[in-house]
Amino acid sequence: MMLNCVVVDDESLACDVLDSYLRRLDFVQSIRLFGSASEALVYLENHSADVLFLDIEMPGLNGIEFLKALTHPPITVFTTAYRNYAFEGFELGVIDFLLKPIAYPRFLQAVEKIRDFLALKEQNSRFDEGRVRSDRVRSDPAETPPEWIFVKSGVQRIKLNFEDVTYIQGLKDYAIIYTNLGKIVIKGSIKAMLDIFPPGRFLRVHKSFIVALSRITRIERNRLLLGSNQIPIGRNYKEEVEKALVNRRQ
């Protein structure tokens, strides 16, 4: 899997750092660096790219405006010195958020996340539609919700136990399901996932995230901690999250 990468940052040093990191990877096919957001916008409207590393604080067109202006944005990683932009980034469907100065090990984590997403996406996974429909139309409302569902990945049918799921992240037309055993990428929106995962056990906490309530270990202002995973809480979901957590304690 060879990647075509674009870096957009008005700071030449930041561009040089990402350029040097990307050149260490034998699966990166091409690297284009832009110090001007407007020039990068013209390029991406006329050329394809697999991955975009995008700064946010730039003169003229900032990173958020830039991403919104793209007709077909690549998989995007925000790079910025300001932590508070992470929430807006996830709402725009970015796959990761790198805080400057960017350490190489953290950069590699983002790259592996991208490669995993692309590889799993190629498997064309989807839920077993027959099983989903049967769960949705249970004739007895008091019937115990299912503990699992089947996922089709290529020619395989994988049993997905709900108790193994930690959280789900939405990325445009796909959803990444994080489990104890690894990740599964499903074709479908985050909204569609709400029809599948039992509402008493899973809660949408952000435009791009659904979490397993039992996996929440701590809440800190605008984020949830699920073990070592940090999940943002969207402004429109905060009241519902607090209510759900209070109900679980009672």
- Extract the tokens encoding 125: 């996974």
Confidence (pLDDT) at 142? 53
Length of the chain, in residues: 250
pLDDT over threshold 60, residue 132? no
pLDDT over threshold 70, residue 19? yes
pLDDT over threshold 80, residue 249? no
Give 133-185 pLDDT, tens digit per residue. 334 434 444 556 678 888 776 667 778 899 999 999 998 788 889 999 888 88
Where, residue-wise, is CATH 3.40.50.2300 in the chain?
3-122
Give 20-33 pLDDT, tens digit per residue. 999 999 999 999 99
Confidence (pLDDT) at 131? 45
Which residues have a Cβ under 8 Å from the Cβ of 212 and sit 6 or more positions away?
162, 165, 166, 167, 201, 202, 226
Question: How many CB atoms are located within 10 Å of the residue 31 CB?
Answer: 19
Confidence (pLDDT) at 119? 82
Q: Which fold has domain 3-122?
A: Rossmann fold (3.40.50)
pLDDT over threshold 90, residue 93? no
Confidence (pLDDT) at 134? 37
Give 39-58 pLDDT, tens digit per residue. 999 999 999 999 999 999 99
Give 105-117 pLDDT, tens digit per residue. 999 999 998 998 8
Share of the chain above pLDDT 90, in %: 50
Confidence (pLDDT) at 4? 97
Confidence (pLDDT) at 129? 47
pLDDT over threshold 60, residue 71? yes
Where, residue-wise, is CATH 2.40.50.1020 in the chain?
142-249
Confidence (pLDDT) at 173? 80
Give 179-220 pLDDT, tens digit per residue. 998 888 888 888 888 888 988 899 999 989 999 999 999 988
Cα–Cα distance, 127 to 116 (Å, whole number): 19
Q: Which fold has domain 142-249?
A: OB fold (Dihydrolipoamide Acetyltransferase, E2P) (2.40.50)
Cα–Cα distance, 18 to 22 (Å, whole number): 6
Give the residue from 44, 1, 9, 55 showing the smallest Cα distance to 25.
1
